């Protein structure tokens, strides 16, 4: 018996959530956002399998509209547990965890504020995200997600992020396609001589 699903693939579900989040995000946040705001069955396990599949299936010169990729650290190694889209510029792929989370909260809360009805899952997501924002629990009201967006925006403005160093951008431009997508390999820790 063949089973047909009308649900989008895990890859498309992850893409949808990442586009809304707009910054490197944990697998957990991607799953929570998708589950609360879109139809689908995305899981953390499915995301981990997808990420492995994206890296294993990559071939140089492969024409693909987008890939789900790990976020990058400032040294351009993979930031495990954080996801991005391959089409984002290097500035959007390098993780700045606190700033990325606050920027994501702004976008998510604004998206929910535009909706006419807010479901239980979206309300639970807002309540959890409010805990991450200084003044968020006080600003958060289920009827006013825009207040949470404002609180997150204020917290983000209070701790501006320095631009990506020119050296990192220069190094990024020298990487091959695979390294840009999945990060440069980490060097093993070397012990010094005694």
2-41 pLDDT, tens digit each: 555 677 899 999 999 999 999 999 999 999 999 999 988 9
> What's the rounded mean pLDDT across residues 112-125?
88
Indicate if 55 and 79 belong to the same structural domain. yes
Q: How far apart are CA 87 and CA 74, in angstroms?
A: 18
How many structural domains comprise the chain?
2
pLDDT score at 64: 77
Indicate if 65 and 136 belong to the same structural domain. no
In a domain, 82, yes or no: yes
Q: How far apart are CA 75 and CA 73, in angstroms?
A: 5
Q: Which pair of tokens denotes residue 127?
A: 């309540």
Indicate if 137 and 124 belong to the same structural domain. yes
Identify the three-state secondary structure at position 42.
coil
The answer to whether 113 and 146 have CB atoms below 8 angstroms apart is: yes
* pLDDT band at residue 167 under the 50/70/90 scheme: very high
Tell me which of 144 and 157 has the higher pLDDT. Answer: 157
- Of 38, 64, 95, the residue that ends a domain is 95
Tell me which of 144 and 80 has the higher pLDDT. Answer: 80
- Of 62, 78, 95, the residue that ends a domain is 95
> What's the rounded mean pLDDT across residues 125-133?
92
The answer to whether 70 and 178 have CB atoms below 8 angstroms apart is: no
Indicate if 24 and 89 belong to the same structural domain. yes
DSSP state of 8: P
Q: How far apart are CA 153 and CA 151, in angstroms?
A: 5
Domain range holding 53?
8-95
User: Residues 28, 33, 39, 43: what is their CA dihedral angle, to the nearest 10 degrees?
Assistant: 0
Q: How far apart are CA 149 and CA 123, in angstroms?
A: 14
Indicate if 34 and 103 belong to the same structural domain. no
CB atoms within 10 A of CB 95: 23
The pTM assigned to this predicted structure is 0.87
pLDDT score at 19: 97
CA–chain centroid gap for 171, Å, is: 23
User: What does pLDDT average to over the chain?
Assistant: 88
Q: Which helix (H) or strand (E) holds 61?
A: none
pLDDT score at 16: 96
pLDDT score at 4: 59
In a domain, 104, yes or no: yes
């Amino acid at each position: 018996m063949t089973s047909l699903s009308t649900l989008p693939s895990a890859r498309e579900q992850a893409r949808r959530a990442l586009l809304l989040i707009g910054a490197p995000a944990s697998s957990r946040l991607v799953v929570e956002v998708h589950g609360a705001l879109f139809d689908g069955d995305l899981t953390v396990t499915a995301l981990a399998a997808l990420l492995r599949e994206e890296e294993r299936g990559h071939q140089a010169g492969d024409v693909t509209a987008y890939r789900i990729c790990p976020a990058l650290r400032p040294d351009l190694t993979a930031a495990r547990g954080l996801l991005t889209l391959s089409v984002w510029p290097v500035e959007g792929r390098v993780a700045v965890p606190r700033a990325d989370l606050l920027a994501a909260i702004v976008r998510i809360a604004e998206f929910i504020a535009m909706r006419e009805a807010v479901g239980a899952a979206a309300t639970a997501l807002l309540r959890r995200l409010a805990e991450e924002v200084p003044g968020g629990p006080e600003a958060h009201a289920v009827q006013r997600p825009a207040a949470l967006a404002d609180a997150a925006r204020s917290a983000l403005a209070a701790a501006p992020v320095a631009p990506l160093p020119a050296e990192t951008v220069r190094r990024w431009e020298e990487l091959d396609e695979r390294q840009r997508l999945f990060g440069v390999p980490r060097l093993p820790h070397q012990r010094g001589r005694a």
